[in-house]
Amino acid sequence: MTEQTPILELKNVTSAYGRIKAIKGISLKVYPGEVVSIIGANGAGKSTTLMSISGVIKPTSGEVWYAGDRIDGLAPDLLPSRGLCQVPEGRRIFPRLTVEENLDMGAFFRKDTDAINHDKNRVFQMFPILLERRKQHGGTLSGGEQQMLAMGRALMGRPKLLLLDEPSLGLAPLIVQQIFRIIREINEVDGVTVVLVEQNANLALKSSSRGYVLETGNVVMEDDAQALLVNPAIRAAYLGE
């Protein structure tokens, strides 16, 4: 693993909201084909880390590297065409657009019409309920359906690296199982590298190859996911034991 070149690397990244530092010199690496979880309590800096990667928040110091290029100075709308897509916390779909129009927005930078239609059909195969709802406005969907739509929209960009922020938040257990089945499928079948921020640390680590633990904006631990799952400190702090 260490001989590979990371697809993503953060080097001492600090990001702030005004004078408040949300992340404080975070360094991490993600290698091609991995699913890497970032776990921690509310306010630990998990979502800020993802938004710093995707350019929604500009780091105040440090460097973000993706696919061999430094990207922390780039506008966020330039990153999907490079294969870096994010599914934000809260889904952030377009409520007044139809399901199909939302999916089209995920391919806004693409010109390959036939391939776009192929990918849209693939999304409908993954999430059959979206096919049934294709002409409905996004705002009329349930929370689980909106999460599926947000993931489908990101997949329309043909990501090489997918950032997922709290995909299970507020969803029923059966929907959560379906979402994580799709995460495994796009990783194992399509080869998409995934960085996963998830409140359900147990589920996240069981679906990951490695994990990072954040506390108050700092990385306090990193290890193989299985090792973190059996770590007594992690089990006590994040797995309810």
Which of 142-146, 168-172, 185-189, 225-229 shows the lowest mean pLDDT across its residues?
168-172
Sign of the torsion formed by the C-alpha atoms of 47, 49, 72 and 2? negative
Helix (H, G, I), strand (E, B) or coil at 222: strand
Tell me which residue range forms the domain holding 203.
8-88+159-238
d(CA 217, CA 48): 9
In a domain, 80, yes or no: yes
* Strand segments (E) across the chain: 8-17, 20-30, 35-40, 61-66, 69-70, 84-87, 161-165, 193-197, 210-215, 218-224
In a domain, 227, yes or no: yes
Contact 73, 221 (CB under 8 A): no
Q: What's the pLDDT band for 1 if we cut at 50, 70, 90? A: very low
d(CA 164, CA 183): 9
**Mean confidence (pLDDT) of the chain:** 92
Closest CA to 183 of 225, 150, 134, 139: 150
Contact 129, 148 (CB under 8 A): yes
d(CA 141, CA 149): 9
In a domain, 111, yes or no: no
Residues in a beta bridge with 36: 195, 210
d(CA 3, CA 25): 24
Burial (CB count <10 Å: 0-12, 13-18, 19+), residue 125? exposed
- The whole-number pLDDT of residue 3 equals 62
In a domain, 97, yes or no: no
d(CA 151, CA 164): 8
Closest CA to 167 of 188, 190, 183: 183
Model's pTM, two decimal places? Answer: 0.91
In a domain, 100, yes or no: no
In a domain, 141, yes or no: no
In a domain, 98, yes or no: no
In a domain, 96, yes or no: no
Question: Considering its fold, how many domains does the chain have in total?
Answer: 1
> Once rounded to an integer, what is the mean pLDDT over residues 97-115?
92
CATH number of the domain enclosing 75 = 3.40.50.300
**Residue, of 34 and 19, whose pLDDT is higher:** 34
